[in-house]
Amino acid sequence: MMVVSAYSNASICHAEALRLLVTAIFPSASIVFSIPKGSQMYAGGAVVEGALFEKLHQKLLRAEPSSDVAEEYCDQKRRPSEDLPVSPHGGCLQARNGPLSTPCSPDVADVWRTLYLKWPPQPVAGRPLWRYDSEESSLPGMPCWTPHAVAYIGGFEAPDLRQVVAPQLFAQVPPFSSDTEVDRTFGGRTFDYRRQKVPKFASRVLDREFLLREKGCAIHEPDLLEMALPVTFPSNSSLKENSTETRRVRTFVSFAGSEPNLRALQVAVDPMHRRALRPAFGYSIATLKFALPPPLVNATRLLRQWNESWSPTPLSTAFWLSAVGHAVERRLPMDKTAAFILHENACSLAEASKSIAFLTASLVSSSPQECWNNFFLPVERFEAERGVRELMDTINLLPVGQLQ
């Protein structure tokens, strides 16, 4: 089931194709699409507001049954659109789906636009691995920070992504050799292929090269599946009425258990436990890694290495990536290095990465409380995570100079 309000026809076709694929294997699965800001309809935290969502959100916070509230919510959302059924999970998508998905000052917006203009995400082996919504996005060149959708499956746990979910879903995706046109993958090019017999997929064995070459499918650890999904759209041809055409749409999907638990996320001490809980709220660290400007990703790596050099309990990648996001918005617009990083052609990727890492470390050292919430998943707070509380005892004492 999916959240839908005012989808374009293309979005409805894409959503229905994914629903059919997932529910063919997991009939009770619930699927929620995350819609980029700038399109006609938003999903999750971007639009689900008001007293009704607050009631549902509080139920989820307390991990209590929310069937009555969810039913009321579904009834209200179903009235404006009967195209597709609505899932009570619609209120759960809380991750920021783009740099301008929340209100920000003109200076901050300009920083993000300039970062993406100067340092666009880089393809991997010639393939863009970020979500691209050219039919709907009003922000060209600024990829989404979330997957296309989150699928909620009862009993799902993080190891199931590779061992259970991926093998079965990938087996349902037809090979490119079955397409009438094999060079039309929306959101990225298809791949050279040879006609081969599709093997039976063992539950724990995935042939990465074969899947990518023959089907456009891949696992992006730790929380993301990519599929070249065949989607049937109404044809634009005027020669035939009610004609259709099928093309591949590069689709990114995360998976989560059927009971998102924000309270469990807030109190979790183990970073690995938090990593397993975040996808339920639309957060994907794999998506962020591919969709963010390279200096931000590299700065996160530098910060992790720096953190490991002086702490026996280094902070999680999610914390440092979030801190980089906070530094970009809170420190970079006012910092004297901003002009060099953003506008000087002489500034290399390595220099930009190091400068952003230094700004971030300075922010964490002087004002750690400003980094308590997850920049990319604002409903998450980091205080309970292992190692974060210790920062309160090290204000202005961190060896920031090592990053200069």
- Beta carbons within 8 Å of 155's beta carbon, 6+ residues apart: 257, 258
349 pLDDT higher than 90: yes
Q: pLDDT, tens digit, for every residue of 56-65?
A: 344 444 433 4
Listing DSSP states for 363-396 in one string gives HHHH-GGGGSEETTEEEEE-TTSTTTGGGGG-TT
Q: What is the pLDDT of residue 201?
A: 43
Q: pLDDT, tens digit, for every residue of 78-111?
A: 333 334 344 666 667 889 988 888 888 999 999 9
Q: pLDDT, tens digit, for every residue of 269-312?
A: 999 999 999 999 999 999 999 999 999 999 999 999 999 999 88
Does residue 191 or residue 339 have the better pLDDT?
Answer: 339
Judged by DSSP in three states, 358 sits in helix
Judged by DSSP in three states, 248 sits in strand
CB 194 within 8 A of CB 295: no
Q: What is the pLDDT of residue 255?
A: 97
119 pLDDT higher than 60: yes
Judged by DSSP in three states, 322 sits in helix
Q: How many helices (H) and strands (E) does the chain have?
A: 14, 8
> Smallest Cα–Cα separation from 131: which of 142, 115, 118?
142
- Looking up tokens 């919510």, which residue turns up? 73
The model's confidence at residue 135, banded by pLDDT at 50, 70 and 90, is: very low
Q: What is the pLDDT of residue 233?
A: 86
- Beta carbons within 8 Å of 35's beta carbon, 6+ residues apart: 7, 11, 41, 42, 43, 46, 97, 136
- The stretch 118-126 carries a mean pLDDT of 88
Whole-angstrom distance, CA of residue 45 vs CA of residue 378:
10
Q: What is the pLDDT of residue 81?
A: 34
74 is written with which tokens? 């579904």
Q: What is the pLDDT of residue 90?
A: 61
- Looking up tokens 């998102």, which residue turns up? 260
Q: pLDDT, tens digit, for every residue of 234-255?
A: 876 555 666 788 889 999 999 9
43 pLDDT higher than 50: no
- Beta carbons within 8 Å of 232's beta carbon, 6+ residues apart: 13, 17, 244, 245, 246
Q: What is the pLDDT of residue 102?
A: 86
* Beta bridge mates, 374: 377
> Smallest Cα–Cα separation from 56: which of 25, 88, 84?
88
Q: What is the pLDDT of residue 156?
A: 95
Whole-angstrom distance, CA of residue 5 vs CA of residue 205:
39
Q: What is the pLDDT of residue 91?
A: 64
The model's confidence at residue 128, banded by pLDDT at 50, 70 and 90, is: confident
Q: What are the Cα distances from residue 146, in Å, to 84, 94, 248, 310?
A: 22, 10, 20, 33
Q: What is the pLDDT of residue 194?
A: 41
Segment holding 110, helix H or strand E: helix 106-118
Whether pTM exceeds 0.75: yes
Q: What is the pLDDT of residue 297?
A: 98
Q: What is the pLDDT of residue 185?
A: 52
- Looking up tokens 């089931």, which residue turns up? 1
Does residue 138 or residue 384 have the better pLDDT?
Answer: 384
Helix axes 294-310, 349-366, angle to 10 degrees: 50
Q: Which of 238-252, 323-337, 354-368 has the weakest average pLDDT?
A: 238-252
C-alpha angle 287-293-295 in degrees, rounded to nearest 5: 120
Q: pLDDT, tens digit, for every residue of 153-183?
A: 999 999 999 999 999 999 999 998 887 544 4
Listing DSSP states for 19-45 in one string gives HHHHHHH-TT-EEEEPPPBTBS---GG
* Beta bridge mates, 310: none
